[in-house]
Chain A
Amino acid sequence: MNPSQVNVIGMDLVAAVHKTGPDIATFVVSAIIIIAGAIGVVFSRNPVHAALSLVMTLFGVAVLFIEQQADFLAAVQIIVYAGAIVVLFLFVIMFLGVDRRENIAAEPLHWQRPLALVLMAAALAGVIALGVGSHWATGQQAVAGSTTAGGHSNVYLLGKSVFTTYLYAFEATAALLVIAVVGAVVLARRPSLPSVEPETDARGAAVSGQPGPDGGLHDAAPRGSAAQDASPADVRAGQSLVKEAGR
């Protein structure tokens, strides 16, 4: 493989696109939709509302994709994210019954929220300062080639790059998906069994009433006892359920 073939990406630069009025209008409207949706995700106290806001954001992004002539990406964005992933979110939310309003006041780490605000403000200030002070020239005006380069459609170009430049990544993704499925099955199909571990071993120092010497994460959260104390009665209940299911 000679190196010139390696460097194909990004060489097919398009000139700076002339922005027309409709382009700008589309961008502004979808940007507002995206940001409003994102804010909704963060600030909704109801998980279902947050998920709906996420859908809104995804739609806005899809519109931006279309505006950039990435039609296929836009459609896939809606099919995969809005159509499947958020539906699964909602499925889980409804199934687990976590669609209650969270009590935000119960905060184990009191300094966490102010600290987050301060850090966010600092980061934002830094970004703005950098953006204003120096234009972030990167030497590339548009890194991707045209979405319709060489008179080919979007799908053609995408398929081509998947089977040439990103062939290995594509195949590795297959391995990733397989292992994700195997892992999910291994985790999901486990019975809740009686725990055999003593409290001592779980938290060397916590037993004696002191916090962990390193101030690890576990100190913030009390130990959940539900999983640990799965009693034999649970196992028995599981078995009877199994029997009923078999009938």
Chain B
Amino acid sequence: MSFLGFLDGLGGPHVRDGVIHLVVVLASVHALAAVTAIHVPHIRYLAILPEIVMLGGAVLLLGVASLSDRPVRMSVTTVGTVVISGASMGLAWWQWADVRQHGPFTTVAGAVVTDGFSALIAILASTAMLLTALVGDGYLRREGVEGPEFHVLAMVSASGAMIMGQANDLIVIFLGLEIMSIALYVLAALNPRRATSGEAALKYFVLGSFSSAIFVYGIALTYGATGGTNLAHLTSYLSTHALSSNGVLLAGMGLLLVGFGFKVAAVPFHMWTPDVYQGAPSPVTGFMAAIAKAGGFAALLRVFVSSFGTLRPDWRPIVYVIAIVTLVVGAGLAVVQRDVKRMLAYSSINHAGFVLLGLQAADARGVSAALYYVFTYSFMVIGSFAVVTLLGRSGDVGHDIAGYRALARRQPVLALAFAVLLLAQAGVPFTTGFLAKLQVVAAVVDAHSAPLGFVAMGSAAIAAFFYLRVAVLMYTPRRPRWVPPGREIVFDPIVGPQASTAAREGSGVSGQAEPEIAPGGSLDGGTAEGAVATVPRTLAELRLWSGSERTVAVVERLNADLLIDREAEAVEDGAGGRRVRVPPAAIVAIGICIAVTVVFGIVPGPLVDFTHHSTLLLLR
């Protein structure tokens, strides 16, 4: 009698089955469980490889950094980032070649589309990432915020922009937007030594979340009106159904426009831009300007021109008004800025207005012009902020416009580079900036919105003023003993020592505490006392030495002008002077930016063709 037969006799077939189950518990689970086959959509991995490489590389970098005992060296992080973004860029070019050869395609259940448009955005995002890694390397070393966080967050942000570029579904657009934005919020706060950095991040976060909520609301209403979030579905539904009263759809479309407007910093949704651009670490600002605009405009163009194409009469007037306001406000307020980063922030708003012209034209030519604008602007803005990064002193300070006076004397190469990039932004011929402006204006005039073109050109004239002002200032020799208005006190030689002495008596605690943050906080009191007792010889030392907030404020106020004056003096004295040590990586990045800006400005063919083809290959 077999064992199973014995069990049969004991308790019937149930028992026997049960014992078998017990013996192969896990296998029985397989037999029992309900598996209903689901047809998993086909995935063509070429379509999503660039962002997979970017995200995977970010996670790998993070994992290596957090699993190693010692902090990973900065050079390793930077090289890794450059390699990863280079690989991503290569894959994006492969996409481009594939699309040129075999035409566009959708994959992953139609959620992702690969066409020239998406390949262009992927190329742009990975290039921006590469340049930012090069610029960020020197910055992070200077600021002492070494660590992989900067690169990891930036890579994730870039992958978010790529997702936005290739999204064929409103939900995917939203997710790409959030991936991009959340990383940018944190990047903006990355420098813990600047309070403005945290302030910028908080403002960006609050307003960004608010705009995301509006965006989601727009998606919900659009879904309610059309029954789908897929852009292909939207297109076909709207072209086959004529809606008699489409209030829900229009409301959804309006809210989507508001959400996008926040991301690309169009007026009146631009409020966060100046504060965030000014407060964020300088390389981050350049990256943010490039990536957020690229991702935002990519999705905006795709949704509005292709999916809401049949609703052109409804949204073109709105975009018309927004574009005018954006152009005028951006250019007008940039003129009165004294901080270079803030000025560039307003100039970026102005540029957003120009890109909106391409959207307003709402045809293939307009889209092509807008893409060209976004592409070339990215190089200009990353390069500009790279220069600003290098010129800022430790602590990412000294971006006051007065500090750029006579820069050409101290830093001839940097000054030249900055001048070229500013002139390109202003739209001087033989740069890509000129061609970009020309194309969008031509497109919008062709689309019977000539007044908008005139406004754009007017704003370009205003913009030229503030770009040229900086450029000219850099080449203006320093006035002897130039005293900024209202700051005469600065040059009273006894003010510093007097104020600081008072401060030391008033608040000795903090004055003595400062040296103790030296290695491990283990300095003995004697050294600290000695440090305090030394008479300050330099301004920085003076600031260290004098404790009270008021004194620090006064001294810091001097820094911007006085230190530069001293440097200039030192140069004149032939004593060498304090030069900005320019990291080679940043030079390479700036060089690439200038090369792209100038070369394609003189030989416009390839780049114009590139963007033109990307539009032709646009699906649908």
B:257-287 near A, CB below 8 Å = 271-272, 274-275
By beta carbon, the residue of chain A nearest B329 is A214
**A130–B247 CA distance with the chains assembled, in angstroms:** 8
**A208–B185 Cα gap in the complex (Å)?**
30
CB distance from B558 to the nearest CB of A (A): 8
CB pair B513–A190 under 8 Å, yes or no, is: no
* B559 and A167 form a contact (CB under 8 A): no
Name A201's contact: one of B159, B171, B226, B397 (CB within 8 Å).
Answer: B397
B249 interfacial by beta-carbon distance below 8 Å? yes
Size of chain A's interface in residues, with CB distance under 8 A?
73
Nearest CB of chain B from residue A115's CB, rounded to whole Å: 14
Number of A-B contacts (CB under 8 A): 246
Flag whether B224 is at the interface (Cβ < 8 A).
Answer: yes
Taken together as a complex, chains A and B put the C-alpha atoms of A136 and B245 apart, in Å, by 6
Most chain-A Cβ atoms within 10 A of its Cβ — which of B41, B106, B272, B552? Answer: B41
Within 8 A of A (CB), among B459-492: 486
Question: Are B243 and A200 interface neighbours, CB within 8 A?
Answer: no
A232 touches B514 (CB 8 A): yes
Q: Does B14 interact with chain A (Cβ within 8 Å)? A: no
Contact B338 A205 (CB under 8 A): yes
Q: Flag A218-241 by CB within 8 Å of B: 1 or 0 each.
A: 100001110111011101100100
Instruction: Return chain B residues, CB-CB under 8 Å to A227.
Output: 195, 198-199
In the complex, chain A residues whose CB is within 8 Å of the CB of B176? 172
> Are the CB atoms of A169 and B223 closer together than 8 Å?
no
Distance in Å: Cβ of B284 to nearest Cβ of chain A: 13
A136-B248, A172-B172 given as contacts; is B232 within 8 A of A6 (CB)? yes
Residue of A with least CB distance to B557: A200
Number of B interface residues in the complex (CB < 8 A): 100
- A232 and B172: CB pair below 8 A? no
Q: Please tell me if the beta carbons of A10 and B248 are within 8 angstroms of each other in the complex.
A: no
Give the one of A130, A208, A217, A235 with max B CB within 10 A.
Answer: A217
Given contacts A167-B43, A179-B156, A196-B194, 6 further A-B contacts (CB under 8 A): A7-B232, A183-B185, A186-B186, A196-B397, A232-B513, A235-B521
* Shortest 5 CB-CB contacts between residues of A and residues of B: A198-B556, A10-B227, A6-B110, A196-B395, A228-B195
Q: Which residues of B come within 8 Å of A, CB atoms? A: 36, 38-43, 48, 55, 59, 62, 105-112, 149, 152-153, 156, 159, 163, 169, 171-172, 175-176, 178-179, 182-183, 185-186, 189-190, 192-196, 198-199, 201, 203, 223-230, 232-233, 236, 241, 243-249, 271-272, 274-275, 333, 336-339, 342, 346, 394-400, 486, 509-510, 513-514, 516-517, 521, 549, 552-553, 555-557, 559-560
Question: A residues within 8 Å of B by Cβ?
Answer: 1, 3, 5-7, 9-11, 130, 134-140, 143-144, 156, 159-160, 163-169, 172-173, 175-176, 178-180, 182-183, 186-187, 190-202, 204-205, 207-208, 213-214, 216-218, 223-225, 227-229, 231-233, 235-236, 239
